[in-house]
Structure formats: C-alpha cells, structure tokens
Amino acid sequence: MDLSVVVPVYNEEESLPELAEWIIRVCRNAGFSFEIIFIDDGSCDSSWRVIRELCQVNSTIKAVSFRRNYGKAAALHTGFSFASGEVVITMDSDLQDNPDEIPELYRMVKEKGYDLVSGWKKKRYDPFIKRVTSRLYNFTARLWSGIKLHDFNCGLKAYRNEVVKGIEVYGEMHRYIPILAYEAGFKKIGEKVVKHQPRKYGSTKYGLDRFIKGYLDLLTIGFITKFGKSPMHLFGTLGTLMFVAGFAMAGYLGGRKLWYVSHNLRAPLVTESPWFYIALTVMVLGTLLFLTGFLGELINRNSPERNKYLLKDDINIEIHSTEGNSSIALK
C-alpha cells in the first residue's frame, strides 16, 4: 500500500464527511493505493457515529474509538500501530489542514528520501495569542533540539513507515515527533510550506494550559533522549560538582578558623557565617542528586528496555563453534 492517512478526531462531527471526501478525491486523482484511519479520541458529540457511517460507505476508511479522551499523542500512537502504507501522513480533522498537500508530501518522502517532512503553516488563521505562543514555542524547540523547523507542532506531516514504527508517542509528545524521530536515528527531516485554512466548523481546542505543558514536555523529552539510559551522567555530575563546591566553602571556613587560632587571634564562630549554612545546603543537595543518579541507574539496570535499540537493518547471524574456535556465518 502506498499511503496511510492518520486523522485524530475530537468533537469534529461537522467536518468529517467533507474531510473524508476531500482526502479520497485527492488520493484517487494521484493514483495512490491508500487507507484513511480515523482515531476517535473519546469525542462527546456524534463524531463516532459519523465515522461509522463513513466506514460503511467506503472500504478505504478504517476507524478506532477510545472510551474516553486520552489526547492527541495517544490517538497518533494508535493510528501509527495500524498504519500499513509505505508513507504515513497525519493531519488534523478540523479542515484547517489542506489534503491537496498530500501528493507533494508523499513525493518528498518517496523520491527525495526524507524520513519525515513537517508542514509549515507560514500564513496562519489562528487567534493572535495562539500565533504568538506558537512562535515562542517553536523558537525554543529549535534552540533546544538543533532541528531547523519553523513549525514543530503542525498536524500535517509525512513519514516513512519505519519512522512511525520506530518511535513511541505518549503524553503530550506529539508536539515533539521530529525530535523523537531525530534522536531515534532518522536524521533526514525536511519542511514544506503548506496552506492553512480558516476554521470552518466548531471551535479551537487550544488553551493556555497546552502552552505550559508544551514547555514541560520539552524539558522531559530533552532529558529522556539525552540521559534516559544514563541518568548518572546528569545527576552524578551535578551532584559531584555541588558537593565539591560546598566542601570547598566549608574547607575555606575551617581553614580560616585554624589560621586565627594559630595566630592567637579571636576566631569568629564558623556558624556565625551565612556561608556555613550555604555550604551545608549545597553539600546535602549534591549528595541527594548523586543518590538520585545512582537510584536511576539501578532502575535502568533492571528495565527490560535497557538494551532495546533501533536497527537500521538486520542480517541473520549463525555462530558455529568447533573445539573452542568460533566462526560467524552471515545469511
């Protein structure tokens, strides 16, 4: 199959028939063999009823429904697990993503060899506050990850199938799929300017809480990708540096005390100096950070995922042993 189109849905009953008809028309005109996978994320309206009716009319449409709202990341993860197309395209269900972009996104993955192509809504029809916070968020994500994308959170993206099968999207991590893919070894990430449509039905699901959660998730994914398999490298280093700094401050205070005593001078009490309490606090925090890294390593050691690595390719390997001598045969 050429193409899988994964569409998360949450309370978009009015837009679904038009969206499905539009995607089908574009894919058929382009000559694709394709499937559309709707993931109903616990909608409170009649979205699931509309999706079931669409499935009955067209066999290219598949659907999954959650019992409650789990979030866009969960919907995408489920859609990815069912996707069988060589190229997987994701788009939002509110008709603000333009299905006419599908053929070019497909071509960029298949012909230009991109692992992932992210849409860039250069001209947006969103509320002012959403546009401002989006620019700030994207600037921070570029700075943090080093990936030069203008719009990390654009719902319209295209992937090679190996990419969606090789990453795990959870929580609110759908905003950072390009970062997840890059850290998983899929380095060829591109961008395409896409047409953004004014909202035709319903209202936006965006709120200030999503902006705050986005930054917290950026910190989370930064830690997991860099130190997930070696937490001691972060916590142990910080803890050691803090302990040494605190010990140096305490040593200075102790040395000063001894200098006064050796010169028969009245020595001030060490506990009268605020630096004594700062040194003590820093040493305690350093110790706690070091122990945190140590516990993290113990947990990681017992994790079944500790030796899970993404393979670019595999070869069947047989090991033959004769009288202590080993040879390897590749199939």
Tell me the CA end-to-end span of the chain in Å, nearest whole number.
28
- Fold (CATH) for 3-227: Spore Coat Polysaccharide Biosynthesis Protein SpsA; Chain A (3.90.550)
| 110 vs 211: CA distance, rounded Å | 34
Q: In what order do the strands lie in the sheet with 3-9?
A: 61-65, 34-40, 3-9, 87-90, 157-160, 116-120, 189-193
Q: Tokens 């978009």 sit at which residue? A: 12
Partner residues linked to 8 by β-bridges: 39
With cut-offs at 50, 70 and 90, classify the pLDDT of residue 16.
Answer: very high
Which of 22-31, 183-192, 288-297 ranks highest by mean pLDDT? 22-31
282-320 pLDDT, tens digit per residue, is: 999 999 999 988 888 888 777 665 545 455 555 544 444
Average pLDDT over residues 54-78: 91
| 205 vs 202: CA distance, rounded Å | 9
Partner residues linked to 320 by β-bridges: 327
- CB within 8 Å of 99: residues ≥ 6 apart: 19, 22, 23, 26, 91
143 close to 102: Cβ distance less than 8 angstroms: no
HSE, side-chain direction, 13 A CA sphere, residue 84? 8
Going from N- to C-terminal start, the domains of the chain cover 3-227, 228-331
Ramachandran bin of 240, using left for φ above 0, alpha for ψ from -120 to 50, beta for the remaining angles = alpha
- CB within 8 Å of 262: residues ≥ 6 apart: none
Per DSSP, 101 falls in state G
257-280 pLDDT, tens digit per residue, is: 888 888 888 878 888 888 889 999
| 165 vs 115: CA distance, rounded Å | 12
In this prediction the pTM is 0.72
Per DSSP, 196 falls in state B
pLDDT > 90: what percent of the chain?
47
Is it the case that residue 245 has pLDDT exceeding 60? yes
84 close to 62: Cβ distance less than 8 angstroms: no
Opening angle at CA 219, ends 215 and 223, nearest 5:
165
Q: What is the DSSP string of 108-126?
A: HHHTT--SEEEEE-SS--S
**What's the gap between Cα 217 and its chain centre?**
8
Helix (H) / strand (E) containing 90: strand 87-90
Burial of 161 from C-beta contacts in 10 A (0-12 / 13-18 / 19+): middle
157 close to 89: Cβ distance less than 8 angstroms: yes
- Average per-residue pLDDT for the chain: 84
pLDDT > 70: what percent of the chain?
85
The pLDDT value given to residue 209: 63
Helix (H) / strand (E) containing 102: helix 102-110
Q: Tokens 């010990």 sit at which residue? A: 247
HSE, side-chain direction, 13 A CA sphere, residue 304? 0
Average pLDDT over residues 2-26: 94
